[in-house]
Copies of this chain bind each other. A is one copy, B any other.
Amino acid sequence: MNNYADNPSAAILIIGNEILSGRTLDTNTQTISKSLGDFGITVFETRTVPDDKQAIIEATVALSKKYDYLFTTGGIGPTHDDITSLAISEAFGVAYSRNEVIYDVLCKFYESRGEAMNKAREKMAFIPEGSFLIQNEVSKVPGFAINNVYCLAGVPDIMKSMLDFVIPLLKHGRVVKSLTHTVMIGESKIAERFEALQNKYKAVDMGSYPFVKNGIHGTSLVLRSSDYEALDKAFLELTSVII
């Protein structure tokens, strides 16, 4: 991953016991990685931690220091196991306090449905002091950003809507383009030629992904680069030497 080292870097922190127990398959990582990639922001690391305040704080501090952006998902709802806002407040040493903009939105929303405010609903207005609000088109409750950390919902469609709101506000890089050459040859037969090509085109990242289809071994050879000229040249050569 050297040829796009100048691009903004990002990490993803998935928060939730349901991912670690295997109850829920995490698809947010793929959605975020793809979406950021479309704007030249490169994801270098992801972590998943339980709904445990200390674990969230440690991962947040480590990842926000190491990368330009950190995206978290999960733990910003109204129930007792939603502790992301509190943990992020403590991670940055700022107050965990009621945001009056969110509180007003919530009050009006529940009033319009003839429902009362309660402690759990009010909890959703508590975020780290000084945060920037992240709107979404799906639910009434915004996410928030503080420093370089963007805290999104865990529910995939709400998460995606928040991500779409955030991405235009970030620094973009040069998009890494990808070209795939798929052959019905096992990878151990083509590995040496593929490595020689990698050594020739240092500006292109080359990955080999084996699969089996109808009992026959095949390989997807994936070339990725933000240097489009080098990418095209390398791909042309790849498709002529490995057929």
Chain B residue contacts of A1, Cβ below 8 A = 17, 50-52
How many A residues face the partner with a CB closer than 8 A? Answer: 65
Determine whether the beta carbon of B80 is less than 8 Å from that of A21: no
A191 shortest CB reach to chain B, Å: 3
Knowing A1-B50, A48-B45, the reply to whether A33 touches B29 (Cβ < 8 A) is: no
Determine whether the beta carbon of B198 is less than 8 Å from that of A80: yes
Chain A 77-89 interface mask (CB, 8 Å, partner B; 1/0): 1111110000000
Chain A 19-41 interface mask (CB, 8 Å, partner B; 1/0): 11111111101111111010000
A194 at the interface (CB under 8 A from B): yes
Which one of A90-98, A118-126, A127-135, A227-235 is at the interface?
A118-126
A64 at the interface (CB under 8 A from B): no
Which of A31, A50, A206, A207 has the most chain B CB within a 10 Å cutoff? A207
**A residues 134-181 in Cβ contact with B at 8 Å:** 155, 176, 178
Chain B residue contacts of A48, Cβ below 8 A = 29, 45-47
Top-7 shortest CB links A-B = A120-B191, A22-B34, A22-B33, A79-B208, A80-B195, A78-B188, A46-B48
A contact residues vs B (CB 8 Å cutoff) = 1, 16-27, 29-35, 37, 42-52, 55, 77-82, 118-121, 123-124, 155, 176, 178, 187-189, 191-192, 194-195, 198, 205-211, 222, 224
Apart from A19-B46, A20-B42, 6 more pairs, CB < 8 Å: A20-B33, A29-B48, A45-B47, A77-B208, A118-B188, A123-B191
